[in-house]
Structure 1
Amino acid sequence: MADPQLLSSVRALVGREYGRVYAWDAVNAPMIRQWCEIMGVDNPLYSDPDFAQNSPYQAIVAPPAMLQVWTMEGLHANNYPPGSTQQNPYEVLKLIEEYGYASVVAVNSELSFTRPVQLGERLYYTTRLDAVGDEKTTALGTGFFVTLVMSHFVEKPEGDEPVGELLFRVFKFRPANPQPVAKPEAAPANAKRPLPGVSDDTRFFWEGCAEGRLLIQRCSACATLRHPPAPVCMHCHSFEWDSVQASGRGSLYSFVVMHYPEVPPFDHPNPIGLIELDEGVRLVAGLIGGQREQLQIGQRLQVEFHRFDEQQTLPLFRPVTE
């Protein structure tokens, strides 16, 4: 049974409302365009002023699924705009952790929308601790389902208007079979690169890398190339496929340079590129052989296969001069 003091403290928090968290920017076309590009959304209602003018909204609107995006803090945790609340809406989770329910599973979120938001509108949200369920025992352990609701509003002179809600639910539990803490070794082994997940759909790709070949999946019915590998063709829905060997040449379509977190055994800064192969598909791979300042979109690249830790071979791409 749960500690009576914990139950009393938790129940006292249910229903508590936490103050406003403001958006850094008003709803704007550049963010909508970038989000749509990343998510593969091409609805003209979000990008074409002429099309949107003839819609029921009579103007460009943001995709409803972007609701949470507008009020995110950005790269740095808890970096919210001036005027945002200093209260911690997750204090109930900290309280539960103090009683030994430190593990997390079954995190889910649900978005609901009243209406799409339009260009120039500025959003904020407030948080309500909606519910803390009774103590529940599962195969993983014993704990509590905690539900928070973030209500989103648009600021208006005549009165702020609700536009949607985000429901966040998490199961905080005490493991049924906690593992003993391993004693640190006197000389810890060098960290190895994590192995990729290999399935029946991707095995051919990794076996090709081990042989120094960059293999791309091809639909046997319509000859469409696809990457990442998948069990079915997105164009003709055929389940039949084979593979072709790519030239290994391509262009840098996009890239990021990871500075943090510093995860061994990777070198940092760690440049990672989205490479558009000459065959027309794109893949994500590490970039080698150049400084960050020398990377340029459209730069020509050539694949190289590198063996790591005697356990895996990865395709990396190096800038080349035509």
Structure 2
Amino acid sequence: MSEKKDVTVESQITPELDAEVRAKADELIAQGVCSTRTARDGVNQATINAWTDAMGINDPRWTSGEAPESMAQVWTMYALGGTKDPHDPLHAMMDWLTERGFRGVLGTNVEQTYVRRLEVGEVPRLEMRLESVVGPKATGMGEGYFVTALTEWFVGPEDAPELVATMLFRVLKFIPKPRKKPSKFVLYPTKNRDTEFFWEGTAAGELRVQKCNACGALRHPPGPSCPECHAFDRGYVVSTGEGTVFSHVMHHHPPIPGFEMPIHTALVDLDEGVRMLATVDVANGGTVEIGDRVEVAWRTVDENLTLPMWRKKA
């Protein structure tokens, strides 16, 4: 665990509870690898084809016996309706925290490292352990702990395994902060190094589209690498903010904090050639239909968040 921080009198996490959390975390961390799983099926071309089709990737490397690196997690995922491993350290720590009032959970980040590509015919297996529990931490959502699990994927004999990929998966387990005005609560989008340019743009009144500086391809949503040339050289262009409605839906349930129901949402083909999803500014522009021309508008939630909206073009 990290160096202990002072727990203030106002905190919902008492020194006694903090000590319990630390003891439980140390217990699970000391167990080391406590969850293992072997892929039900070996790496195969049919699954690679289905995955690349779903992702919209067309690259000859993925039809010649190699699997994309980012498929590492696919091979050992639970089957539909599968039961989670009772020894899974991440869920063990999360369930323990839930029982003690940390009912909120928020995924914060995933860090994957690829050592080499898997090849058709190989059967990967994973080993998982609890890496760390850091806190207590006061956030806008409430007070809690960052729980991180380390997963490693191997191939080859168990007495001489070869590491092919790793993943650090981190969540925040927290005691929800009491809210006097729930209607003002908003679910904030994740902001990281791949998306910060977009949200900095909305704050400045610009609709920014990610661009590959290597080949010039535009893409949305933002990501770390270009799906066309696989370069990591990221930039952006400022969209005109105009486009055509490709599809739309009226969302009635479940309710979403910060929005009045129903929520009219539209998927728009921007003139720059990418599709973008946002709500429709019904109050000022009315509802939209497929084929309507729209332009971007802005909804300022607070000083930290401005959301794009679609408004029917006059």
- Give the TM-score of the pair, scaled to structure 2: 0.54
* Shift in CA distance, 155/316, structure 1 to aligned 2, threshold 3 Å: farther
Distance 1:127 1:33 in 2: 28
- Partners of 2:112 and 2:166 within 8 A in 1: yes
CA shift for structure 1 position 46 = 1.9
What is the percentage of aligned positions where both structures have the same residue? Answer: 24
Computing the radius of gyration over CA atoms, which structure comes out larger, 1 or 2? 1
CA shift for structure 1 position 167 = 0.9
Matched, 1:22 2:38: yes
How does 1:147-186 map onto structure 2 within 5 Å?
Answer: 147-156=148-157, 159-175=160-176, 177-179=177-179
* Shift in CA distance, 41/139, structure 1 to aligned 2, threshold 3 Å: same
User: For 1:68, which of 60, 66, 73 is the aligned residue?
Assistant: 73
- Partners of 1:15 and 1:130 within 8 A in 2: no
Matched, 1:5 2:20: yes
CA shift for structure 1 position 119 = 0.1
How does 1:1-322 map onto structure 2 within 5 Å?
Answer: 1-3=15-17, 4-16=19-31, 17-47=33-63, 49=64, 60-76=65-81, 79=82, 85-89=85-89, 90-105=91-106, 107-133=108-134, 135-140=135-140, 141-156=142-157, 159-175=160-176, 177-179=177-179, 263=254, 312-316=286-290
Instruction: Spell out, residue by residue over 1:149-178, the C-alpha distance to the aligned partner (whole angstroms, 9 max, x if none).
Output: 111122548744322211112222234x41
CA shift for structure 1 position 70 = 1.4
Structure 1: 5+ residue stretches without partners? 50-59, 183-196, 203-216, 218-225, 253-261, 267-273, 286-305, 318-322
CA shift for structure 1 position 239 = 5.1
- Partners of 1:307 and 1:314 within 8 A in 2: no
Letter aligned with residue 14 of structure 1: I
- Partners of 1:6 and 1:99 within 8 A in 2: no
SS at structure 2 position matched to 1:61: coil
Distance 1:238 1:149 in 2: 33
* Shift in CA distance, 22/311, structure 1 to aligned 2, threshold 3 Å: farther
Distance 1:166 1:201 in 2: 34
Distance 1:86 1:139 in 2: 30
Aligned CA RMSD, in angstroms, stands at: 5.1
* Shift in CA distance, 245/129, structure 1 to aligned 2, threshold 3 Å: closer
Instruction: Spell out, residue by residue over 1:135-158, the C-alpha distance to the aligned partner (whole angstroms, 9 max, x if none).
Output: 333343432221111111225487
Distance 1:75 1:282 in 2: 32
SS at structure 2 position matched to 1:100: coil
- Partners of 2:86 and 2:92 within 8 A in 1: no
- Partners of 1:18 and 1:85 within 8 A in 2: no
CA shift for structure 1 position 179 = 2.0
What is the aligned length?
233
- My pick for the range that moved more, 88-97 or 98-107, is 98-107
- Give the TM-score of the pair, scaled to structure 1: 0.52
Distance 2:152 2:137 in 1: 30
- Partners of 2:67 and 2:117 within 8 A in 1: yes
State the partner residue of 2:295: none
